[in-house]
């Protein structure tokens, strides 16, 4: 079985976006630590993604997401 860090690294290298909210509450601290460690090794960038928005109540739920830009994932680029 892969560690959380190995799972996150595999998803990032596959071009997927990672959100901490996608992990169970008990695994979130480990996932945050894994992303911090991987940021030293990989060109990971972060941004915000809107999960839910209500114009009626003027609320927005957002989550920080992490990914590797496509330019770094192209074949032949040196990661």
28-79 per-position pLDDT tens digit: 999 999 999 999 999 999 999 999 999 999 999 999 999 999 988 876 555 5
Q: Are 17 and 65 a contacting pair, CB within 8 Å? A: yes
Decide if 22 is inside a domain: yes
Decide if 79 is inside a domain: no
Q: What domain range is 18 assigned to?
A: 4-73
SS3 assignment, position 79 = coil
Cβ-proximal residues to 15 (8 Å cutoff; 6+ apart), any chain: 67, 68, 70, 73
Decide if 55 is inside a domain: yes
Q: What's the CA gap between 77 and 46, in Å, rounded?
A: 20
Say how many domains are in the chain.
1
pTM for the predicted model, two decimal places: 0.80
Q: What's the CA gap between 3 and 60, in Å, rounded?
A: 32
- In this prediction, residue 2 carries a pLDDT of 81
Decide if 56 is inside a domain: yes
Decide if 43 is inside a domain: yes
């Amino acid at each position: 079985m892969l560690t959380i860090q190995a799972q996150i690294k595999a998803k990032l290298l596959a071009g997927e976006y990672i959100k901490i909210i996608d992990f169970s509450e008990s695994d979130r601290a480990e996932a945050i630590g894994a992303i911090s460690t991987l940021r030293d090794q990989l060109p990971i960038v972060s941004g915000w993604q809107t999960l839910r928005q209500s114009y009626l109540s003027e609320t927005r739920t957002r989550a920080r997401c992490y990914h590797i830009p496509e330019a770094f994932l192209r074949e032949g680029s040196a990661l």
